[in-house]
C-alpha cells in the first residue's frame, strides 16, 4: 500500500553505537522530497539484550526499522520471515512492518552495492579482489555473486578469516581464493577491488596503486576520501564510496517502508554530502 503524505508513520535506525549514523539524514531527506509530512525517522542506541523488548513495544504507527551493527543477526529471531537475500548472509538490515502485523526482514546492503557499482558503469567483471574478511566482506561476496563471472581473491590477516571467506564462497556459489594480507598490494590490479576494512587499514597500500587502475569500491565514508581512494582517483580509476553504498541501500529501504518509488536518490545523496561536510 502506498503511503499517504498525511499518514503519521514512524521509522528509525537501531544499533550501538548509533550517534554517527547518517540514516536519519538520508531518510528524512527522502520524506521531504516525497512530501511525506507526517513521517518521522529517529535513532535508538540498543544492544542485543535490549532489542527484543524494544521491538515488542512498537505500535501500529511503525512502518519499518533500519538495523545496523551489532543487531543484524540478533534481530532475525524476532521476525516472522526474512528474504532470500538476507538469509544468504544471515544478516538483516531492514525490517518492514506489513499491514497484517508481520515483521519482515530484508538485506538492502547487497543490492545497494550492486546499484552503487552500476551507477558507475560497473555491471559485470570477470574477477575481483576483496580486502578484509568481516561482516561487510560477506555482503561484498554476495554482491559479487551477482556480477562477477570468475574468481574472487580475498586478502585476509588470519587462517581463521581465510576459512570463513572460503565457507562464504561455497555458500554463495562464488569461487573464492584467499591470500595473505601481506600480499594485499597484488589486489590492486584486479578489475574490481572492494575494500571492506576499518579506517586506516588500507592507507599503506596507496603507494601501490597501479598506473591504470580499474575500479575501487571503498565502503568507508567518514573520513573520506581514504588515502587509497584519493590515490586511486588521482590516477584516473573509478571510485565508488561508502556514501554511495549508504545512499543506495537507504533508497531501497525508503521504497519498502513507504511504498513510494522511485526514492529520490540525488536528494538523499546531497543531504548525506552536506551532513558529512558539516562534520
Task: Provide the pLDDT for residue 134.
Answer: 87
Choose the catalytic residue: 10, 72, 103, 231: 72
* Cβ–Cβ under 8 Å, residues 103 and 83: no
pLDDT band at 58 (very low <50, low <70, confident <90, very high): very high
Task: Provide the pLDDT for residue 32.
Answer: 98
Packing angle of the helix pair 242-258, 109-119 (nearest 10 deg): 120
Task: Provide the pLDDT for residue 2.
Answer: 65
Instruction: Give yes or no: 16 in active site.
Output: no
Res. 254: pLDDT tops 60:
yes
Task: Provide the pLDDT for residue 135.
Answer: 87
Q: pTM for this one?
A: 0.94
Q: What is the pLDDT of residues 67-90, one digit of tens each?
A: 999 999 999 999 999 999 999 999
Q: Which helix (H) or strand (E) holds 273?
A: helix 265-278
Beta strand 62-67 pairing with 39-45: unpaired
pLDDT band at 7 (very low <50, low <70, confident <90, very high): confident
The rounded mean pLDDT for the chain is 96
From first CA to last CA, the distance across the chain in angstroms is 37
Residues 6+ apart with CB under 8 A from 128: 144, 148, 152, 153, 190, 191, 192, 193, 194
| Among candidate residues 27, 57, 22, the one with its CA nearest the CA of residue 39 | 27
Amino acid at each position: 500500500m502506498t503511503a499517504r503524505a498525511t499518514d503519521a508513520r514512524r521509522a528509525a535506525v537501531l544499533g550501538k553505537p548509533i550517534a554517527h549514523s547518517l540514516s536519519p539524514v538520508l531518510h528524512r531527506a527522502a520524506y521531504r522530497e516525497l512530501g511525506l509530512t507526517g513521517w518521522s525517522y529517529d535513532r535508538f542506541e540498543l544492544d542485543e539484550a535490549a532489542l527484543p523488548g524494544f521491538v515488542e513495544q512498537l505500535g501500529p504507527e511503525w512502518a519499518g526499522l533500519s538495523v545496523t551493527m551489532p543487531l543484524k543477526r540478533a534481530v532475525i529471531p524476532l521476525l516472522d520471515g526474512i528474504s532470500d537475500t538476507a538469509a544468504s548472509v544471515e544478516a538483516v538490515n531492514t525490517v518492514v512492518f506489513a499491514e497484517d502485523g508481520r515483521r519482515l526482514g530484508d538485506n538492502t546492503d547487497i543490492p545497494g552495492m550492486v546499484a552503487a557499482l552500476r551507477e558507475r558503469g560497473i555491471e559485470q567483471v570477470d574477477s575481483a579482489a576483496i580486502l578484509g574478511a568481516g561482516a561487510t566482506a560477506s555482503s561484498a561476496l554476495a554482491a559479487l555473486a551477482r556480477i562477477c563471472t570468475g574468481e574472487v581473491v580475498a586478502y585476509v590477516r588470519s587462517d581463521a578469516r581465510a576459512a570463513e571467506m572460503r565457507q562464504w564462497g561455497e555458500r554463495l556459489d562464488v569461487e573464492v581464493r584467499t591470500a595473505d594480507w601481506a600480499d594485499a598490494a597484488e589486489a590492486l590490479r584486479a578489475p574490481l577491488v572492494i575494500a571492506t576494512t576499518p579506517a586506516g587499514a588500507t592507507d599503506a597500500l596507496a603507494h601501490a596503486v597501479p598506473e591504470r587502475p580499474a575500479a575501487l569500491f571503498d565502503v568507508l565514508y567518514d573520513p573520506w576520501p581514504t588515502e587509497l581512494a584519493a590515490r586511486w582517483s588521482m590516477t584516473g580509476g573509478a571510485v565508488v564510496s561508502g556514501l554511495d553504498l549508504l545512499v543506495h541501500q537507504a533508497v531501497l529501504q525508503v521504497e519498502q517502508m513507504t511504498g513510494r518509488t522511485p526514492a529520490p536518490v540525488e536528494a538523499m545523496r546531497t543531504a548525506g554530502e552536506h551532513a558529512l561536510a558539516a562534520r
